[in-house]
Amino acid sequence: MSIAVRNLVKNYGDHPAINDISFDVKTGEILGFLGPNGAGKTTTMKILTCYMPPTSGSVEVDGMDISDKSLDVRRKIGYLPELNPLYLDMNVLDYLEYSAQLHGMRGQTVQRRLKEMVEVCGLGDVRHKDIGELSKGYRQRVGLAQAMIHDPELLILDEPTSGLDPNQIVEIRNLMKHLGTAKTVILSTHILSEVQATCQRVLIINEGKIVADGSPEQLQRDFQGAETITVEFKSGSVNPLEDIAPKIRSVPYVNAVSLLSHTDGISSFEVHVEKGHDVRESLFRIAVSEGWVMLEMHRRATTLEEVFHKLTTS
């Protein structure tokens, strides 16, 4: 199940919601769409699921164009829309059965899949309840269950963990990872830790354009600015700014040193290092040769949050 998106444009009136987006997704990949609200994540998903056509550009799913093979494409896709719409007056099993039937399943197959989905999504206790009576977490599971009921090759999940509590988020994440081995998954979120926890690849979208594409680690590396190291020494020195700081400053690639705190002969510094260099070993050796005891050393890398912030604010 591969996806090829080419030069996708969608205008709402005069306002472009997405503006010339192109990307590919390979089989088995878990792709995260990241972007601020209104960036075009949901619009892109609505086009992929054949809910609405693009203004221009094309999408091929498994080599089939979504505009002329719409029904065949839809057969392969499981979709969880943004607000997880459900029929509140139906009970869980009836709703899942209905979903299965609309995917062309009949008879024994339906019953078998229902059983599997109730198991996988942990719906056993609520399977006879009306969906309207369920908590948000259970509703989300029902939403996932209906998306997976026909064992789709491609899952498109729009903010699958929104509104859930931290425990539920972990459960849903595990569920997705569990699935992700055989299926292609596209999910959108604005929770960055989620992307780090589940996705092999991230697309950051801002104002309708792709501004970054890569694995979370790769993005962090690419957008790594000057590095900061926090280091704490026990030296017995009374005046660390004169005794210690200049020595640290003399280490190659160190751009600046500032004293954070100094109490009882324990001083901690913030060391700014030139991009792409690691000075931790040199710092350690200096400490040894000067007879300082190193109590703490910590390198703060650029987080995905910072990458995101940098790319989506201008």
Partner 1 sequence: MSGFSNVGPIYRRELRSYFNSPVAYVVIIVFLAIIGWFFSNNLFLINVASMRVVFDLVPLVFLFFIPAITMRLLAEEKKSGTLELLTTRPVRDVEIVLGKFLACWTLLAAALAPTLIYLITLLALGSPDIGPVIAGYLGLLLMGGVYIAIGLFASSLTENQIIAFIVGFLIVLALYLADKVLMYVPQSLASILEFLAIDYHFSSIARGVIDSRNIIYFASVLGFALTLATVSLQRRKW
Chain residues that interact with partner 1, rule: CB under 8 A: 46, 49-53, 71-72, 74-75, 77, 79, 81, 83, 85-90, 94, 98-99, 101-104, 146
Can you name the residues that pair with 61 across neighbouring β-strands? 3, 64
Instruction: Supply 226's token pair.
Output: 């000057």
DSSP string, 194-254: HHHHH-SEEEEEETTEEEEEE-HHHHHHHT--SEEEEEEEE---S-HHHHTHHHHHTSTTE
CB closer to partner 1, 46 vs 183: 46
Could you tell me the smallest distance in angstroms from the CB atom of residue 99 to partner 1? 8
d(CA 314, CA 312): 7
CB closer to partner 1, 50 vs 231: 50
Could you tell me the smallest distance in angstroms from the CB atom of residue 94 to partner 1? 8
Could you tell me the smallest distance in angstroms from the CB atom of residue 98 to partner 1? 5
d(CA 54, CA 52): 7
Could you tell me the smallest distance in angstroms from the CB atom of residue 204 to partner 1? 25
d(CA 67, CA 314): 35
d(CA 259, CA 28): 49
Could you tell me the smallest distance in angstroms from the CB atom of residue 107 to partner 1? 13
Residues ≥6 apart with Cβ < 8 Å to 166: none
